[in-house]
C-alpha cells in the first residue's frame, strides 16, 4: 500500500500520457476548481489473479453513476455466452426506453436495432436508452433485469452493492463501492469480446441512413493512455466523476476504479497514475494455459469411470519486480473421488502455488464434460471388466 501511497497524493503531477478530458453525453458540467482533494475511494487489482495492488476507502458505499452499466454489460454478455440472445437479434425500443434522460443515443419508440448496435451505444456513448432497451430484451422488463443485477451481485459476493436501475441515473438506494466495481469489472473481463467494443474511441449508428449518429467514447483514456481498452465512465452531480478503467501491457491487465473525483481531469490523472504504478511494480508469469489437462480423476457411479481435469483459466503468478520467485511449491488438489452427476464446467479442485506456506496463486480446475449417473448395465460391465482384469 505504501508503494502506491505517494501516487494517489501527487495529483498535481501532469502525466504526459493523459490529456484533459473533454466531457460528452454522460459527463457534462464542471466541479469547482478549488475542490481538488482527490477521489473519495479507489482500488487497483490485477485482472487474472484478482490481487489488490492498492486501495483507498474501497468499501465506502457511493453512487456509481454510469459505471452501473458494467453490471448491465455483464448480464448481456452472460446471455450471449449461454446463447439466450445473439448479436444479430433485433431489439425493438419501447417508449419507456426511449424516454430515458441523461446520456443517450436518441432512440425512438418502435425503432429497431441489433444487439451489436445496442452494445456500441452502451459501451461507447453510455446510452441510457440503449441500456434500458437491452434490459427489457434480456430480462423481459427493466424491473426483472434489475432483480437479475442484484442476484448476480450476491453470487459475486458483493456485500456493499444494490441496484435500482440498469443505467446509473440517480435513485435512492442505488450504490456500490470501488471494491465491488473492480470485482464486477473482473467478471466482465472474462468475456474478451467486450473489449472489442470498449476499446473503440468512435463509431457510428444508423451509418447508412440520413440519421447517422456519431459515437464518441466517454472514456478519453482509450485515446491517451497506452494499453487502455475499457471500461466505463460515470458522472452525476451526486456521484461526481467516476471511472472503472482497464489497461493491458505485456500480457498483464490492470483494473483501476476511482469514485467521486471532483473533475474529469483529476479522475483521469488518478487512474493513470495508479495504473502506471501497477505496471511499474508488477508483472505476471503464466504457469499453465487455460483448458490445459493437468490430471485425471476417478468418478463414482458415473457414465465415465475417469475424466480429465483441466484449468478453468490461465494459471498465473503475480510477481513484484525485484522479488525472488524461487522456492515455489505447486500442487494439484482435486476433490476425489468425484460423484455423478456433475455439470460441465463444475469446479472440482484447484491448482495451488505456495511460497513460504502462503498461497500466492489458486486456479480453479474443472471437468469439461457433463457426467451423468451410470446405468446399471454400465456399472455391471465396469465391475465385470475389473474382475476379469484381476
- Distance of alpha carbon 293 from alpha carbon 312, whole angstroms: 10
Cα separation values, 253 from 48, 69, 250, 275, Å: 7, 20, 8, 10
Alpha-helical runs (H) found in the chain: 2-9, 69-81, 95-98, 115-123, 128-139, 142-155, 178-189, 194-198, 221-224, 264-281, 376-389
From residue 218, alpha-carbon distances to 15, 66, 221, 277 in Å are: 19, 10, 9, 24
- Separation of alpha carbons 237 and 32, rounded Å: 12
Catalytic: which of 94, 103, 126, 131? 126
Q: Which three cell numbers stand for residue 104?
A: 443517450
Task: Give yes or no for a contact between 93 and 112, defined as CB atoms under 8 angstroms apart.
Answer: yes
Give the C-alpha separation, 264 to 66, whole Å.
14
- Sequence-distant (6+) residues with CB within 8 A of 95 are 109
* 99 carries an active-site annotation: no
Task: Round to whole Å and give the CA distance between 160 and 167.
Answer: 18
Buried/exposed 55-94: b ≥16 CB within 10 Å, e otherwise:
bbbbeeebbbbbbbbbbbbbbbbbbbeeeebeeebebebb
State the virtual CA torsion across 31, 37, 41, 45 in degrees, nearest 10. Answer: 110
Options 66, 94, 131, 361, the catalytic residue: 66
Residue found under cell 468512435: 202
For residues 47, 52, 58, 63, the Cα torsion angle rounded to the nearest 10 degrees is 0
Name the active-site residue from 40, 55, 56, 69: 69
131 catalytic? Reply is no
Burial of residue 311 (CB within 10 Å: 0-12, 13-18, 19+) is: buried
- d(C-alpha 205, C-alpha 212), whole Å: 6
Task: Please report the DSSP string for 208-227 in residue order.
Answer: TSTT-EEEE-S-THHHHSTT
Look up 126 and say whether it is catalytic.
Answer: yes
**Pairing status of strand 293-300 against strand 338-339:** parallel
Instruction: Report yes or no: 111 and 93 within 8 Å, Cβ to Cβ.
Output: yes
Active site residues: 66, 69, 126
Amino acid at each position: 500500500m505504501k508503494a502506491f501511497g505517494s501516487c494517489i497524493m501527487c495529483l498535481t503531477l501532469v502525466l504526459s500520457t493523459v490529456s484533459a478530458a473533454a466531457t460528452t453525453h454522460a459527463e457534462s458540467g464542471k466541479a469547482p476548481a478549488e475542490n481538488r482533494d482527490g477521489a473519495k475511494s479507489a482500488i487497483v487489482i490485477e485482472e487474472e489473479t484478482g490481487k489488490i495492488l492498492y486501495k483507498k476507502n474501497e468499501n465506502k458505499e457511493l453512487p456509481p453513476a454510469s459505471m452501473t452499466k458494467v453490471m448491465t454489460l455483464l448480464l448481456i454478455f452472460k446471455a450471449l455466452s449461454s446463447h439466450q440472445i445473439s448479436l444479430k437479434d433485433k431489439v425493438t425500443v419501447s417508449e419507456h426506453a426511449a424516454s430515458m434522460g441523461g446520456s443517450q443515443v436518441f432512440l425512438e419508440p418502435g425503432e429497431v436495432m441489433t444487439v451489436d448496435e445496442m452494445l456500441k451505444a452502451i459501451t461507447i456513448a453510455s446510452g441510457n436508452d440503449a441500456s434500458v432497451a437491452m434490459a427489457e430484451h434480456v430480462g423481459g422488463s427493466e424491473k426483472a433485469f434489475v432483480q437479475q443485477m442484484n442476484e448476480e451481485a450476491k453470487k459475486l459476493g458483493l456485500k456493499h452493492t444494490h441496484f435500482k436501475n440498469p443505467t446509473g441515473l440517480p435513485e435512492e438506494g442505488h450504490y456500490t463501492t470501488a471494491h465491488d466495481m473492480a470485482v464486477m469489472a473482473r467478471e466482465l473481463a472474462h468475456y474478451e469480446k467486450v473489449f472489442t467494443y470498449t476499446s473503440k474511441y468512435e463509431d457510428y449508428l444508423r451509418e447508412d441512413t440520413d440519421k447517422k449518429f456519431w459515437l464518441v467514447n466517454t472514456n478519453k483514456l482509450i485515446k491517451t493512455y497506452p494499453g487502455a481498452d475499457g471500461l466505463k465512465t460515470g458522472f452525476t452531480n451526486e456521484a461526481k466523476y467516476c471511472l472503472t478503467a482497464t489497461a493491458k501491457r505485456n500480457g498483464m491487465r490492470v483494473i483501476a476504479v476511482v469514485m467521486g473525483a471532483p473533475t474529469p481531469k483529476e479522475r483521469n490523472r488518478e487512474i493513470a497514475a495508479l495504473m502506471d504504478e501497477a505496471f511499474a511494480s508488477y508483472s505476471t508469469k503464466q504457469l499453465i494455459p487455460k483448458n490445459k489437462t493437468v490430471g485425471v480423476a476417478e468418478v463414482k457411479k458415473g457414465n465415465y469411470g475417469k475424466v480429465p481435469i483441466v484449468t478453468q483459466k490461465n494459471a498465473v503468478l503475480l510477481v513484484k519486480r525485484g522479488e525472488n520467485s524461487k522456492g515455489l511449491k505447486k500442487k494439484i488438489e482435486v476433490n476425489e473421488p468425484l460423484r455423478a452427476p456433475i455439470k460441465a464446467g463444475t469446479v472440482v479442485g484447484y491448482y495451488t502455488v505456495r511460497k513460504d506456506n502462503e498461497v500466492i496463486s489458486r486456479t480453479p480446475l474443472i471437468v469439461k464434460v457433463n457426467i451423468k449417473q451410470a446405468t446399471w448395465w454400465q456399472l455391471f460391465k465396469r465391475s465385470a471388466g475389473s474382475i476379469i482384469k484381476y
